Homo-oligomer: A and B are copies of this chain.
């Protein structure tokens, strides 16, 4: 299979993220390794290393509500995939999927998966790069709803010209 035909999935979805299905979609006969990152909704933020803080006030989240500027988000996911392929030419398949809507603790919200023939050709680094870039340039936002009220989570990255 020619590199130009390597599978690339980039999608904003409302249903569950199906890791088995997505992995199968980016597995070729030449594929021997996959690195997959998933993010989940945290229901509580533990403060490690301090039993007192832990007993005191673990921050609680009831749910997160995600929204996206869907057509631009999918185009930027495609761009992230293109950036990955430019940096790691060994990558075969790429899946970048963000789930939106009301998502409760322990639910996977995002997936970045990269496949290659072997594990030592950049799959881990590529998946890491993918989630970092998604959090920088893909127009998705989340509002946290907790017992203390609700507030929009804001990132801190300002895209540069051409991004």
Contact residues in B for A32 (Cβ distance below 8 Å): 39-42
A29 within 8 A of B: yes
Count residues of A near B (Cβ-Cβ below 8 Å): 37
Would A46 and B30 count as touching, CB distance under 8 A? yes
A117 partner, pick from B33, B34, B45, B123, beta carbons under 8 A: B45
For the complex formed, measure the closest distance between the CB of A135 and the CB atoms of chain B, giving whole angstroms: 9
* Smallest beta-carbon distance A5→chain B, Å: 13
Q: Mark A24-50, 1 if CB is under 8 A from B, else 0.
A: 100111111111111111111110100
- Pairwise interchain contact B23-A20, C-beta atoms closer than 8 A: no
Residues of B within 8 A of A119 (CB): 37, 39, 128, 131
**A28-B106 contact in complex given A46-B117, A119-B131, C-beta closer than 8 Å:** yes
Residue in B20, B31, B35, B48 whose CB lies within 8 Å of A37: B35
CB contact under 8 A between A42 and B19, given known A127-B35, A128-B124: no
Q: Which secondary structure dominates where chain A touches chain B? A: mixed
Q: Is A37's CB under 8 angstroms from B37's CB?
A: no
A18 sits at the interface (CB 8 A): yes
Contact of A31 among B27, B28, B42, B131 (CB under 8 A): B42
Is A38 a contact partner of B36 (Cβ separation < 8 A)?
Answer: yes
Q: In the complex, which of the residues A38, A108, A127 has the most CB atoms of chain B within 10 Å of its own CB atom? A: A38
Let me know if B45 and A30 touch, CB within 8 A: yes
User: Is A29 in contact with B105, judged by CB distance below 8 angstroms?
Assistant: yes
Chain A residues close to B by CB (< 8 Å): 18-20, 23-24, 27-46, 48, 90, 105-106, 108, 117, 119, 123-124, 127-128, 131
